[in-house]
Structure 1
Amino acid sequence: MSAPYELKAEAREQVGKGSARAVRREGKVPAVIYGDKQPPLAIALSYKDIFYKIHGGGFLTTVATIDVDGKKIQVLPKDFQLDPVKDFPIHVDFLRVGRNTEVNVNVPVHFINEEKSPGIKRGGVLNVVRHEVEFHCPANAIPEFITVDLSGAEIGDSIHISAVQLPAGVKPVISDRDFTIATVAGSSAMKSDASEAEETAAVADDEAEETEE
């Protein structure tokens, strides 16, 4: 799990498009905190703080504390909107996190020990089916990533979610099947070599048949 952090914010008395535009003109980002059976709270955050958090990685999987005019609220970022042209943040949604809050989050997949995969050593290619996997887990125990060990993986092997060791309380949202995360496939060069070998063998067989005739 990524290290928690704190952001300072100001409460917003007014909401709506006009209010949001006014907040942005002041160099801030409008946001809303909701959930935990409490009314939504409209806030304004530092543009610089939010920009670096969003683009720094792990934003949607890291619990944060927001200091709203002296009141500290534990939250998990749930969504954000970026300007379609300039790519800067224009709105953020936060979910209040209580002691027993559980959430669905997309967690990145990391692959290790490619050098210990016989299939990759022989020219095979790692085909990543899922770069992220959605999990249901406690909000205060979200894994930063899950690790897939490729040791011993041969060409034609598939790595399923059941092969991944998950932290306690972390469960895949897809629970009705043992879905594939990645496969080790033969490279196009290997396939080309195999085709050439098959063609050579076929020619040899034809020539042998002609000789026998």
Structure 2
Amino acid sequence: MSHASYELKAEKRERVGKGSSRELRRNGRIPAVIYGDKKDPLSITLPYKDVTLKIHNGGFMTTIATIDVDGEKISVLPKSYQLDPVRDFTMHVDFLRVSANTQVTVAVPVHFINEEKCPGIKIGGVLNIVRHEVEFHCPANSIPEFIEADLEGFKIGEGIHISHIKLPKGVTPVITDRDFTIATIATPAGGVKEEEEVTTETEE
């Protein structure tokens, strides 16, 4: 279900600071930090090419990686990365140390399936996506690559809520106080053939 884990070879950073970061980037490496798990943050450098490739291939923020720092293999999950706004260049990555029982919060994309079995869409309704991704708490070692929203049977005016989605074991939505909407089947601007006016419920 999730992207295959991968390994990156890192070097410890001796000097930290603006000047050394620039020098690193000239040498095809980027600075990164591994933190968490009640250990001191570890400053490292990674090959620019490898990291950029992973970011562009998708699933970067939801895939556990192994970072080999001078022979010590550390399991991590990318927490954030900075891009140079002008050149779309990866400037820095923060990694979180994870173990089998680490709980993480991640944004997971929603895939919509069975549009062709959706009565509302068949008569001209429009799929109005309220959330393209949903934030979940889940174990670091079983982050879903995506969740599936099944549109089969939904009519115009109906909403697909989080309760309609079958979630993998241990995966829980961050929002727990309501059954929030993922998408609605909306009436198109020009109305539909022989269909009464329906009010759709939208959610902020």
Taking structure 2 as the reference length, the TM-score comes to: 0.92
* Mapped partners of 1:186, 1:110: distance in 2: 21
Give a deviation string over 1:57-95, Cα, whole Å, max 9, x none.
110000000111211110000000111011120100000
Give a deviation string over 1:119-146, Cα, whole Å, max 9, x none.
1011110000000100001000100000
The 5-angstrom pairing of residues 165-180 of structure 1 reads: 165-180=166-181
Does the residue aligned with 2:7 lie in a helix, a strand or coil?
Answer: strand
Offset, 1:23: 1.1
- Aligned twin of 1:201: none
Code of the aligned partner of 2:69: V
Code of the aligned partner of 1:96: R
Offset, 1:22: 1.7
- Aligned twin of 1:35: 36
Say whether 1:142 aligns with 2:166: no
The 5-angstrom pairing of residues 6-155 of structure 1 reads: 6-155=7-156
- Quote the RMSD (CA, aligned, Å): 1.4
- Aligned twin of 2:200: none
Give a deviation string over 1:36-61, Cα, whole Å, max 9, x none.
01001111111110111011111000
* Mapped partners of 1:136, 1:10: distance in 2: 31
Does the residue aligned with 1:190 lie in a helix, a strand or coil?
Answer: coil
The alignment covers a number of residue pairs equal to: 194
Does the residue aligned with 2:191 lie in a helix, a strand or coil?
Answer: helix
* Mapped partners of 2:145, 2:182: distance in 1: 17
Code of the aligned partner of 1:10: E
Runs of 4+ in 1 over 6 A off after TM superposition: none
Code of the aligned partner of 2:112: F
- Aligned twin of 1:210: none
Code of the aligned partner of 1:44: T
- Aligned twin of 1:4: 5
Q: Percent identity of the aligned residues?
A: 69
Give a deviation string over 1:130-184, Cα, whole Å, max 9, x none.
0010000100010000000000111101010011000111000101111000000
Does the residue aligned with 1:6 lie in a helix, a strand or coil?
Answer: strand
Give a deviation string over 1:103-133, Cα, whole Å, max 9, x none.
1000000000000001101111000000010
* Mapped partners of 1:22, 1:182: distance in 2: 47
**Where does structure 1 lack aligned partners over 5 or more consecutive residues?**
199-213
* Mapped partners of 1:41, 1:86: distance in 2: 27
Does the residue aligned with 1:188 lie in a helix, a strand or coil?
Answer: coil
Offset, 1:9: 0.9
Offset, 1:190: 2.2
* Mapped partners of 1:147, 1:19: distance in 2: 45
* Mapped partners of 1:17, 1:96: distance in 2: 25
Taking structure 1 as the reference length, the TM-score comes to: 0.88
Code of the aligned partner of 2:154: A
